[in-house]
Structure 1
């Protein structure tokens, strides 16, 4: 018997699990043969991957009843493209990152789907036992690869919504707050954003002579960057930048960016959490970019309230007890 994860549960796996054993399967139809989500298979899954939130979302070709708060079944009769599923353990499979995003678009809000997309396209994984709660890794996918998958699976439920959202997924975010910051600034008004031109995230820039003298580095990496106007935005978060050494490096980087002719804006955690403060920051960046605000949609205010209420946390994807225990283990260490 097999258990195949779905959507949000699949995304949680990709963000918190050790991926060394994950292998793609070319024959997607074979993966769904003899699939049987149930109490025994879900219990086994959670012993292997205790970080997944419940109910566990599972894909099945059988119209079976769900398991209440333990698991939820999503029926499919679709023939999936090759490499849509990855083998992650004995009888356990997860959708590819691209398919995870499409599936998430069928079960959650636009804002949460975009956050999942940004996490899958970001350079971080979730590690509650680390000081920052994160670890660095290469992106699992890109918005371009997601769009290519959508084109290959255009008849699949969720692809129309996924196609609308995929073009707005932040790429290369180094943390959930960075991804949220990009969404707030660049999303169109119908999703509650300020519709600024999308920035490059964590783009490596060659250092000039002056900046090399300041940082002793050959390159600079601003958090968000608009190259046409040479505008850089730096996110300053106590939750991410814990040490005084890191704070010094960040201050030095901002000074080096300014000495290289870049106009630099800094956003703090408190500012990012405030709709009013972010409105002023978006206006300032828009002026720096020479960007004229477009007419906003009628539901802009409602959508922006929802966007800020959602915030940047990804905790809903994970088991709260696991998050607390892993974090406590780090503190004891």
Structure 2
């Protein structure tokens, strides 16, 4: 008995509670098909989800079972059948008889309804250090998986529906993003032109840049973290958040940071929210980045403008309105 939550419902759970990323002691091992076969959900368990602290799940709730015959007619439930063997700790017990699939399985099931660009964005979140909240909010959180783990999972389960799309998405996910706007900026710059991006090399995100012990700078730290960084070109982009980069102390600290990086030979470009939200200004940013990387900006895809518009609406739904106040900063 028990309910195994998957798909977008699992993502909602990960977004709701960072503790769900750590498996609780479980009475079951889910490394083999025979173990998962022990799970047989009951109608009463769905009725109790809200009273047991899972009322945040939106309807319908997505549930995984190992065999078709375990499904039954009930309102507000979408069934996913998984009859293949699963890796160890692929399903985690987060409450008594309530289980959560791994991020890899959740994305696999999401891929059955998502555009590849939507799947990539979800990958940025789960491989990053934030989780989306209600409305435009987000919170800091631990990384739950990695692009390589997503790729390996898709390869091992290559016969599963959605695995091809998950494999494709994993190629373009970059780990380490700290906010939705950092993800949006990285996706716009590095997604291939066929997906509406500028087709530039992918950056490393929130990369640590160590300072030499004798930098000669009085106020330098032992290291700095660059939001987006291309090591070969020694070029970084700092996202200038409207929320976190205000106030005289913060502005002064940012200036010291940029000066220290410049002293290390790292060129720094500062980008704000309204620049990213503006199509023409984002074009200018892409040209600057392309030149800094020594990578020609060649957009030769027919209908790229429309694809770029679609990508912008995916990475931030308010993308067509540069003046809207956004909590993402």
TM range (shorter): 0.7 to 0.9
User: How do residues 1-333 of structure 1 correspond to structure 2 at under 5 angstroms?
Assistant: 1-19=1-19, 22-23=23-24, 25-29=29-33, 30-36=35-41, 38=43, 40-41=45-46, 43-44=48-49, 47-60=52-65, 61-62=67-68, 63-65=71-73, 67=75, 70-126=76-132, 133-135=138-140, 137-208=141-212, 213=217, 215-241=219-245, 244-312=248-316
Q: Per-residue deviation at 1:246?
A: 3.6
CA separation of 1:113/1:234 partners in 2, compared to 1, >3 Å: closer, same or farther?
Answer: same
CA RMSD of aligned residues (A): 2.9
Query: Taking structure 1 as reference, are residues 239 and 103 closer, same or farther at Cα in structure 2, changes over 3 Å only?
Result: farther
Residues 231-263 of structure 1 deviation map (CA, whole Å, 9 limit, x = unaligned):
100001114546654443333222222222111
- In structure 2, the gaps of 5 or more residues are 318-326
Cα distance between partner residues in 2 of 1:78 and 1:299: 40
Q: CA deviation at 1:139?
A: 1.5
- Helix, strand or coil: the match of 1:54? coil
Take 1:195 and 1:116, find their aligned partners in 2: how far apart are those partners? Answer: 19
Aligned-partner SS, 2:296: coil
Residues 169-209 of structure 1: per-residue CA shift (max 9 Å, x gap): 02100111111111110000111111111111111111146
Aligned length: 310
User: What's the CA shift for 1:99?
Assistant: 1.6
Aligned-residue offset at 1:165: 1.0
- Structure holding more helix per residue: 1
Greater relative CO (CA pairs within 8 A, separation 6+): 1
Partner of 1:221, secondary structure, is strand
Pair 193,144 (structure 1): closer, same or farther in 2 beyond 3 Å: same
Q: TM-score, normalised by structure 1?
A: 0.82
Mapped contact 1:15–1:120 kept (Cα < 8 A) = no
Matches of 2:120 and 2:3 in 1, distance apart? 26
Q: Is this contact kept in 2: 1:210–1:259, CA < 8 A?
A: no
The answer to whether the 8 A contact 2:3-2:45 is kept is no
For residues 81-134 of structure 1, the C-alpha deviation after alignment (integer angstroms, 9 at most, x for no partner) is: 333211111111111122222222112222221111111110224567xxx741
Counterpart CA distance in 1 for 2:254 and 2:77 is: 44
TM-score of the superposed pair, with normalisation by structure 2? 0.83
Displacement of 1:210 in angstroms is 8.0
Query: Which stretches in structure 1 are left out of the alignment for 5+ residues?
Result: 314-326, 328-333
Task: Note the alpha carbon deviations across 1:51-73, whole angstroms, 9 max, x for none.
Answer: 43332222233344462xx4322
Q: 1:304-325: CA deviations, max 9, x gaps? A: 1111112347xxxxxxxxxxxx
Distance (whole Å) between structure 2 residues aligned to residue 66 and residue 195 of structure 1: 46
Q: 1:226 to 1:12 in 2, by over 3 A?
A: same
Structure 2: distance between partners of 1:111 and 1:179: 12
Cα separation, 1, equivalents of 2:18 and 2:282: 36
Aligned CA distance change for structure 1 residues 110 and 300 (closer, same or farther; 3 Å): same
